[in-house]
Chain A
Amino acid sequence: MPEDGEDIKDIYGEWFRLSNNISRRFQKIAEEGTVGYEEFLGLWSEYSNTMSEEMKRCLTDEEKTKDLANTWKEYTKSMEKHIYSCMEGQTDVYALWMDAFGTWANKGDGEGDNGPTSQYPDPMSFWTQYLKGAEMKMPGVPNMGPDELFTKMQEMQDEWSKQYSSAVKDFMRTPAFASWAGNMVNQTMDSKEQLNSMTTEYLQFLGLPTQSDLDSIRLRFHEMDKKLTELCNMKEERQSPEKS
């Protein structure tokens, strides 16, 4: 059994090495200047997930660490939302990550790109520093008080509703939906027709009037009604000249 704290130290080491690699991938992409918004989001999401998983592994019973993990989780969420809602802010967010993570990575890594380090940085101080940096570089998100953050979330929800509604409306205007809806109606009507024909057979068997029997009577009534109206008009016309 490793001594107390040794296993955590190892996990930190693994986590740091992994993070450092990802950080360098970001750095490389940034230098090449080829990263697009979607690529960035993909990488960022991959990075966040990895970090999140690793952070879970780092959790101990120490209350402070737990609090920090929760803080980080909340913060990540809020920043993710911020990225989606403010596309124009992506460059700032990206620079923030690069600055904060790069500083931390360079400080901790004494043996090159992938090599292990003998002196691991304190994750608590890193995240505290990170959040502090974020406060300065992302005005509007970390500086938000709870009420502001809540309002922001509501705004995001409204915006999401608006975009979702618009997307669904657009979809409804596509030939693909029209075709699907048409098929649905046709299938429903086919089923109804089958049901109608079964009912008709049953009624015929019982010697009761069917739908088509009633329809033929209705049609006769309709035609009679029209004929009567026509006759009334003619009668009126015939009577009127006599009066004049």
Chain B
Amino acid sequence: MDSDNHKTSTDIFAFQRRLMEETLAFNNKMAKATAIAMNPPDIDLKGTPHDIVYEENQVKILHYHPLVKDVHPVPLVLIYALVNKPYILDIKPDRSVVRSLLLKGFDVYMIDWGEPGPEDKYLTVNDYVNGYIDRTIDMIRKRTDVPQVSILGYCMGGTFSAMYTALHPEKVRNLLLMAAGIDFESDNGPLRLWADKEYFDVDKVVDGFGNVPGEFLNMGFLLLDPYNNLYGKYIKILDSIDNDDVMDLFLRMERWINDGVAVAGETYREFIKNGYQNNLLIKNEWVLNGQKVNLSKIDMPVCVIVADYDTLVPKESTLPFVDVISSKDKVIMSFPKGHIGLSVSSGAHRHLWPKVAEWLAERSGDEKGKRKKPEHGNLDSIKGIGPSYVKRLGKAGVNNLDELMTADMDKLSSATGIPKKTLNKWIDTIK
């Protein structure tokens, strides 16, 4: 009996000792973490070398310096969401989507939306899609002397990219959507529920705030997984406090997460109402500049990238997209990560992005250094047809030169208000 008691007591003392050791180790880690939090190291977020080739209001267009000699002829434009900043796609060299694509020979541009000022509160989705994006694409087309570009849209930027492509299919060679909300009714995530008109009065928020602050939006994102986002990850990272690589990525991510930007008030109102509350996009009923966004106009190669564990934009809200477009060449790439893991996880950079690059490379020109003509000529490649005429023709169902050539001139003239003489002149030019 005595020896049994002695054994138990010894175990308890040993356990207590272990507990004290662990507590001490934990305290040391906490002390280090506190020191880092009090004096965070300088983080270089300049990203992959680039030039700013276009600026308009708060918007900047970044053109990345090529990293390989031969570049695919079709430029690739990255369109990120209005919320948060786009450097998540270039967070650090070994986790950079931009760098991965450059190394695969793509000519990469990225739209940095900047932060809207009070003067931008009246910007609408149309101002972004038919304004900034369209002017950016035109600038790149002109700059590179190519008729079409490829677009990779991420998150809300993916939604905008889908809209843009549906309205201007003649300017888009390939469309890649990454965790993009399209069918909001199929969205089974919390954001969809919280944004329901039964609970969320978006008018009150926009009227009260003007531009909807980044902090407000960020709180919503953090509440998607409150335990891990507000507590768990900070405890977990203590185990890696001495691992410089892990800490570097963690601190960059923290910076990015807390570096949210406001969204222009009217754009936010429109996105919530037309998207989350009324689901107009998938029904082809979202109207921009008087024209319905018809997703079936999307007929070019499409790659849809979704994350299996995405709670922000669940894949269920993206996948219906492939069923409503008329593209024959379309692929879904599903990856077992979350919304952000698609762009920053090491797994995504090992397995996903090489596949995406391969898919895109096959569709970015006949061979490196040569440009391939688009199957359908662009309307605005004809002198005299500018953006306004393109829109008018588009409303009448004419989106490319083939359709213009085969259209009934009388009907087209009365539908668009463009004199028949002008239409015939364009036809002569095409011929």
Q: Are A and B interaction partners?
A: yes
The residue in chain A whose Cβ has the minimal distance to the Cβ of B11 is A146
Query: How many residues belonging to A are interface residues under a CB distance threshold of 8 Å?
Result: 53
Contact A244 B204 (CB under 8 A): no
Q: For the complex, what is the distance from the CA of A233 to the CA of B9, rounded to whole Å? A: 88
A27 at the B interface (CB under 8 A): no
State whether B227 touches A168 (Cβ < 8 A).
yes
Assess whether A173 is in contact with B384, with CB atoms less than 8 Å apart: no
B194: contacting residue among A71, A181, A214, A230, CB under 8 A: A181
Binding site for A on B (CB under 8 A): 1, 4-5, 8-9, 11-12, 14-15, 17-19, 22, 118-119, 121-123, 127, 131, 190, 193-194, 196, 198-201, 204-205, 207-210, 223-228, 232, 311, 383-389, 422, 425, 429
B interface footprint on A33-75 (CB within 8 Å = 1, 0 otherwise): 0000000000000000000000000000000100110110010
Q: CA A68 – CA B223 in complex, angstroms?
A: 46
Instruction: Give A150's nearest chain B residue, CB to CB.
Output: B18
Q: Rank and list the top 10 A-B pairs by shortest CB-CB distance, nearest first.
A: A182-B199, A146-B15, A165-B227, A241-B384, A146-B14, A237-B386, A244-B383, A222-B122, A240-B384, A189-B208
A185 and B386 contacting across the interface, CB-CB below 8 Å: no
Decide yes or no whether A132 CB sits under 8 A from chain B: yes
Near B by CB (< 8 A), chain A positions 124-146 give 124-125, 128, 131-132, 145-146
Chain B residue at minimal CB-CB distance from A220: B122
**Is residue A219 within 8 Å, beta carbon to beta carbon, of the partner chain?**
yes
Q: Are B121 and A215 in contact (CB under 8 A)?
A: yes
Taking a contact as CB atoms closer than 8 A, the residue among A131, A165, A189, A218 that contacts B225 in the complex is: A165
* Contact assessment for B204 and A189 in the assembled complex, using a CB-CB cutoff below 8 Å: yes
Instruction: Mark out the residues of chain A between 204 and 239 whose CB falls within 8 Å of any chain B CB in the assembled complex.
Output: 211, 214-215, 218-219, 221-222, 226, 229-230, 233-234, 236-237
Of the candidates A71, A147, A233, the one whose C-beta lies within 8 Å of that of B18 is: A147
A214 to B117, CA, bound (A): 13
Distance, CA A150 to CA B19, complexed state (A): 8
B15–A150 CB distance below 8 A: yes
Inside 8 A of A132's CB, which chain B residues have their CB?
4
Q: List 5 A-B contacts (CB under 8 A).
A: A145-B11, A165-B232, A211-B210, A237-B389, A244-B384
**How far is A151 from B205 in the complex, measured between Cα atoms in Å?**
48
Give the residues in chain A near B196, CB-CB below 8 Å. Answer: 178
A147–B385 alpha-carbon span in the complex (Å) = 78
By the criterion CB–CB under 8 Å, are B5 and A74 in contact?
no
Which one of B17, B127, B226, B386 contacts A146 once the chains associate, using CB atoms below 8 Å?
Answer: B17
Docked pose: A161 CA to B234 CA in angstroms:
13
A156–B431 CA distance with the chains assembled, in angstroms: 76
| CA gap between A125 and B204 in the complex, in Å | 72
* Residue in A71, A226, A229 whose beta carbon sits within 8 Å of that of B8 in the complex: A71
CA distance A178 to B232 in the complex (A): 23
Query: In the complex, are the beta carbons of B15 and A243 less than 8 A apart?
Result: no
- Is the contact region of chain B dominated by helix, strand, or loop, or is it mixed? helix
Whole-angstrom CA separation of A176 from B232 in the bound complex:
24
Q: What is the interface of chain A, defined by CB distance below 8 A to chain B?
A: 64, 67-68, 70-71, 74, 124-125, 128, 131-132, 145-147, 149-150, 161, 164-165, 168-169, 172-173, 175, 178-179, 181-182, 185-186, 189-190, 192-193, 196, 211, 214-215, 218-219, 221-222, 226, 229-230, 233-234, 236-237, 240-241, 243-244
Chain A residues within 8 Å of B232, by CB: 161, 165
Contacts of B224 in A (CB 8 A): 169, 172
The answer for the CA separation of A215 and B265 in the assembled complex, in Å, is: 12
For the complex with contacts A67-B5, A178-B198, A240-B383, 15 further pairs of A-B residues with Cβ separation under 8 Å are A70-B12, A125-B1, A149-B11, A150-B22, A168-B226, A189-B204, A190-B204, A214-B118, A215-B210, A218-B118, A229-B131, A230-B388, A237-B386, A241-B383, A244-B383
Residue numbers in B under 8 Å from A243 (CB-CB): 383-384
Beyond A161-B232, A222-B122, whether A149 also contacts B15 by CB under 8 A is yes
In the bound complex, what is the Cα–Cα distance between A128 and B5 (angstroms)?
Answer: 7
A131 to B131, CA, bound (A): 77
Question: B383 contacts which chain A residues (CB < 8 A)?
Answer: 240-241, 243-244
Partner of A182, one of B9, B12, B194, B210: B194
Tell me, rounded to whole Å, the shortest Cβ–Cβ distance linking A92 to chain B. Answer: 21
How far apart sit A64 and B6, CA to CA, in the bound complex (Å)? Answer: 10
Neighbouring B residues of A215 by C-beta, 8 Å:
121, 210
Contact B190 A172 (CB under 8 A): yes
Chain B residue with Cβ nearest A164: B227
Q: Which chain A residues border B190 with CB–CB below 8 Å?
A: 172-173, 178
